[in-house]
Homo-oligomer: A and B are copies of this chain.
């Protein structure tokens, strides 16, 4: 047995580099949490052009252009496929599975189009395929459906699962842009690729929806049977009317089980009530709303793509692959693993605050309170003192101060002093104003 779990990384673009950096940054933490007795280590990296300049975290000595050498390397126990496409990627994944090596992939097109063949190989050679990174990297929706919802019949899944088109639709709505202009803007900001075809024609999202539906209902789905409409034809006038009518236009994947067991699966720009939580999913974020017969309604929200979120999904899959490979103790870890941690005392925790005083309304009240706050170094961002229209001359009033961020202990000291002022009639009421 090796002293490590060896990884063969096929593809070293954005996500591949993210995986290398995540293992470099959090490798020790990951091993502590998982309780594994050996680390995850990258042993080979497949690239197309060995001479290309790369992030300096990428170990040059591991680079190869020979995919067979990577897959067959005895020190490669787990193969990560991040090169995309459905031909070379297929060959690599199939070869790894045939050798009994678990595969981690983020390739939704490969699994949606050739998944049936690959899952059959996976079963035959008892080598799992992990693909959390294939759908909404920043949301563990695959794990959620596969594991957490295993006891549920899935009634519906509705998702915004393409960040590029979501960003474009949002910009069309808020800045009254036409499709072409919004797409150009997204490309300039790096939210859309040079070739945005699969994002805007709906197929990137459709491939993800096919994977979700396959997970939920367990049968292979031919892409040619799925109804897919992209956002290229969406016109500003319709977005405008949608807004007037109380809707937001979202590129929506809809998966629904009908009575009798047949599955509805489609993808198109749709109107969503602006009061629904999915309408608030903006920019490059993704979200999937699930209705199960056990859990009821749930929603999972996070970043759909990008180096770090997708790498996070790959790393989670690597840990799971290693855990399975090791056939080791059943512990998933995350037990308390040390005794060095400590809590911040509440006095040292800082937020902004809302404080309401019950004061006697006489000359100088605001000045007296503000002076004490200033002496303690606490800034005031606003005050609020509602007038009682029934009795504008009332002797007692509620006086609200909004305070800048400061440690809770400092606030408490100031409030103790203020409580001693004879204009203050009772304990002040304090709420934290959270910046999340």
Shortest CB distance A105–B (Å): 15
Instruction: Confirm or deny: A214 has a beta carbon within 8 angstroms of a beta carbon on chain B.
Output: yes
Asked if A362 is at the interface of the complex by the 8 Å CB criterion, the answer is: no
The minimal Cβ–Cβ distance linking A252 to chain B, given in whole angstroms, is 6
Q: Which of B145, B270, B332 contacts A432 (CB 8 A)?
A: B270
- The binding surface of chain A is classed by DSSP as mixed
With A132-B148, A298-B301, A398-B237 in contact, do A436 and B276 touch (Cβ < 8 Å)? yes
- On whether the beta carbons of A343 and B432 are closer than 8 Å, the reply is no
B147, B249, B298: the one within 8 Å of A138 (CB): B298
Decide: A242 and B431 in contact? CB cutoff 8 A. yes
Q: Are A334 and B146 in contact (CB under 8 A)?
A: yes
A302: nearest chain-B partner, CB-CB: B298
CB neighbours (8 Å) of A293 from chain B are 25-26, 308
Stretch at the interface among A4-12, A149-157, A186-194: A149-157
A225 adjacent to chain B (CB < 8 Å): yes
- Which candidate, A175-183, A199-207, A312-320, is the interface stretch facing chain B? A312-320
Partner of A147, one of B123, B252, B332: B332
* Chain B CB within 8 A of A73 CB: no
Known contacts: A245-B402, A311-B151, A335-B123. The answer to whether A436 contacts B278 by CB under 8 A is yes
User: Which residue of chain B has its CB nearest to the CB of A141?
Assistant: B148
Q: Are the CB atoms of A309 and B331 closer together than 8 Å?
A: no
The answer to whether A344 and B263 have CB atoms under 8 Å apart is yes
Q: Do B116 and A148 touch (CB < 8 A)?
A: no
User: 1/0 contact trace for A345-361 toward B, CB 8 Å?
Assistant: 01001010010100000
| Given known A249-B431, A341-B218, contact A302–B303 (CB-CB < 8 A) | no
- The answer to whether A277 and B301 have CB atoms under 8 Å apart is yes
Given A330-B324, A342-B262, are A26 and B153 also a contact pair (CB < 8 Å)? yes
Contact status A330-B102, CB under 8 Å: yes
Q: Which residue of B lies closest to A153 (CB)?
A: B26
Most chain-B CB neighbours within 10 Å: which of A26, A152, A301, A303?
A152
**Most chain B CB inside 10 Å of its own CB: which residue of A295, A297, A301:** A295
* A264 CB–B CB distance under 8 Å: yes
For A235, list chain B residues within 8 Å (CB).
429
CB atoms of A339 and B150 under 8 A apart: no
Inter-subunit contact A218/B148 (CB<8 Å): no
Q: Which B residues are CB-close (under 8 A) to A149? A: 140, 312, 316
Whole-angstrom distance between the alpha carbons of A292 and B434 in the complex? 18
Instruction: Please give me the residue from chain B that is nearest to A33 by CB atom.
Output: B150
Residues of B within 8 A of A346 (CB): 227, 266
B144 contacts A144, C-beta separation under 8 Å: yes
User: Could you say which residues of chain B place their CB within 8 Å of the CB of A392?
Assistant: none
Given the complex of chains A and B, what is the CA–CA distance between A365 and B342 in angstroms?
74
30 pairs across A/B with beta carbons < 8 Å? A32-B218, A33-B218, A126-B329, A138-B296, A139-B298, A146-B333, A147-B319, A158-B434, A217-B341, A219-B341, A225-B343, A237-B398, A241-B356, A247-B354, A254-B349, A261-B341, A263-B342, A263-B344, A265-B343, A270-B351, A270-B431, A271-B433, A292-B312, A296-B302, A296-B306, A296-B308, A296-B309, A297-B303, A299-B302, A301-B301
